[in-house]
Each structure stands twice: as C-alpha cells, then as structure tokens.
Amino acid sequence: MGSKNCFSTSSMSRHQKACGPSKASSNVSLPMNNIPDLFQKQSISEIDTSDSITEDDVKDAVLDFFIAGNIPFNQADSPHFQKLISMIRVKGKRLIINRKNVRGRLTLRASQAKQDLINELAANSSRCSLALDGWTSRLNNSYMGMTLVAHKSIF
C-alpha cells in the first residue's frame, strides 16, 4: 500500500524521502521496549490476580473454543491441552477440564437455550404455524402446498 504520490515501496528509504513520515505514526507515541523485555516472564506480583475471572468463565471460554474450531471434545484429554489448562488458576485453585465436563457444559448450555426458546415462543402473541411443501408429479407438473394454522384468531 502506498501513499497518493508514490506507487511503489520497493525501496523504503526512497519512499520515505519522497513521501515523508506518515501522519498516523507521528501522532502515536509508543513505549520504548527492547526485544528481551517482551519475552521475559512476569512475576506473580505483576499479574492481575483479581477475582474477576471465575471457573465458569474459563469453562465457558474453553467450550466456545472447542465449538468455534469444531474441535473434538476428546482433545480436552490431550496431555498438551491438560498442560495448558494446568497453568490456569482461579483463586489459586487448579481447574479440572476434560471431555466429560466439556460435554456436560454443552448439554447444560443447550438445555438453557432450548428453555429460552420455549419461553420466547410462549410469550409470542401471534401464534401461528406455516408449513410449506413442494413436489413434482410423474408428468413433471410442479405443485406447492401451504398450510397456515392460527392458534388464536388473528384474522
């Protein structure tokens, strides 16, 4: 991507001389870190140890990760995943996450979503059902059938 006046940035020094510094970079002041500072481990005192993260938050995030990536739940029993999870502490306590409790979490979330849908549909005042069906006869005639059932007299 180049500026309005330059069409090629193959020679960066030539480009910077011709176009000058970008306006976005001149307005932003970045902290001056050196490379080794970026890779040093933080001590426990530097890490935010607030109680804002709960065990349920972590388990929900793990479930979202498995669902979003379409990852099989048996990968939760992988030694590498277990090593990663063992690094997470909630209130100083180690979490136990395996395929059984990930599946249980999904079942719980699915039943909650089902109940929410039932409640939403029960609260809906315009209760009607619409069924559509389409087919073709042996003589290649197309048909479409529609059925509307109104549970309350809305018409």
The pLDDT tens digits for 80-132 are 999 999 999 888 889 999 999 999 999 999 999 999 988 887 787 777 788 99
Taking each continuous run of H as one helix and of E as one strand, the counts in the chain are 6, 4
So where are the chain's domains? 51-125
pLDDT of residue 73: 94
Confidence of residue 31 (pLDDT cuts 50, 70, 90): low
According to DSSP, residue 155 is labeled -
How many C-beta atoms lie closer than 10 Å to residue 145's C-beta?
Answer: 9
pLDDT of residue 85: 93
How many C-beta atoms lie closer than 10 Å to residue 63's C-beta?
Answer: 21
pTM of the model: 0.50
How far, in Å, CA of 119 to CA of 111, rounded?
12
What digits encode the pLDDT tens for the residues 63-75?
999 999 999 999 9
Amino acid letter, 144: M
Which of the pair, 19 or 111, is modelled with greater confidence?
111
Confidence of residue 45 (pLDDT cuts 50, 70, 90): very low
pLDDT of residue 5: 56
pLDDT of residue 35: 64
